[in-house]
């Protein structure tokens, strides 16, 4: 046991909201949201649970902060260029990539309505370029919402499967209830077993962004 007084300054960086949020995201990545507790988060930071309350309001605040951090990652991952359609595609890809890096944090997103500066900045950037390229403002927003929905939904479904497969299952069939009828087990196998997630994601994007002015298209 090393006595702590001598090394106090070196041993432990002071707590901060940022550090807490980072630790929380890392903990969620490793163990899942449902396992996160203030006690364990404190332990991960080498601190008692109660100390956290000097830097965050409560657990809900921590969770909101984690979602905010994820949006910051998405914002930096999606650097916009000139072609607005390519931008929209990249934005969707950024969402998918970042959520793919934090699969266990995905369920957090539909559960807390956080609109942080980072997410709003990202939206603004995307829309601005589109509008400057001649797209109607309302359309630019509508299409961006549509693309975002798709990216989120895709990430939600696929990360989920991958998590499940990675964790326990040599084959998809093992994820089913044991008394699932054979012909339904087969459906499960095709539906979520063999598919190329990347190609399929691009399929949806291609379908959505094929035309410039979808509202007028028909």
* DSSP-derived secondary structure letter, 35: G
The site map against its own copies for 197-216 (x = CB under 8 A) is ---x--xx-xxx-x---xx-
3-class SS at 75?
helix
3-class SS at 167?
helix
- Among 22-30, 39-47, 133-141, 161-169, which window interacts with DNA (CB under 7 A)? 39-47
3-state secondary structure 52-113: HHHCCCCHHHHHHHHHHHHHHHHHHHCCCCCCHHHHHHHHHHHHHHHHHHCHHHHHHHHHCC
* 47 versus 197: smaller Cβ distance to its own copies: 197
d(CA 15, CA 54): 9
CB of 27 to DNA, least distance (A): 11
CB of 208 to its own copies, least distance (A): 5
Question: Residue 190's binding partner, choosing from DNA, its own copies, none, with beta-carbon cut-off 5 to 8 A by kind?
Answer: its own copies
The site map against DNA for 44-63 (x = CB under 7 A) is ---xxxxx-xxx--xxx---
* DSSP-derived secondary structure letter, 81: -
CB of 119 to its own copies, least distance (A): 9
Please report, as ranges, the residues that interact with DNA according to CB under 7 A: 14-15, 36-40, 47-51, 53-55, 58-60
């Amino acid at each position: 046991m090393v006595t702590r007084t001598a090394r106090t300054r070196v041993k432990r960086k002071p707590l901060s909201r940022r550090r807490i949020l980072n630790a929380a995201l890392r903990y969620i990545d490793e163990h899942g949201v449902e396992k996160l507790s203030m006690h364990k988060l404190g332990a991960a930071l080498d601190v008692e649970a109660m100390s956290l309350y000097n830097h965050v309001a409560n657990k809900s605040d921590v969770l909101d902060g984690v979602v905010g951090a994820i949006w910051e990652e998405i914002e930096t991952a999606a650097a916009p260029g000139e072609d607005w359609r390519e931008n929209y595609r990249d934005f969707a890809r950024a969402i998918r990539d970042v959520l793919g890096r934090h699969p266990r944090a995905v369920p957090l997103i539909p559960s807390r309505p956080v609109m942080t500066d980072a997410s709003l900045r990202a939206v603004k950037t995307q829309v601005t370029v589109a509008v400057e390229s001649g797209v109607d403002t309302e359309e630019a927003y509508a299409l961006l919402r549509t693309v975002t929905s798709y990216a989120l939904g895709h990430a939600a479904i696929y990360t989920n499967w991958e998590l499940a497969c990675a964790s326990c299952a040599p084959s998809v069939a093992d994820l089913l209830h044991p008394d699932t009828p054979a012909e339904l087990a087969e459906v499960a196998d095709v539906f979520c077993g063999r598919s190329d997630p990347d190609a399929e994601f691009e399929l949806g994007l291609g379908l959505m962004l094929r035309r410039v002015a979808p509202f007028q298209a028909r």
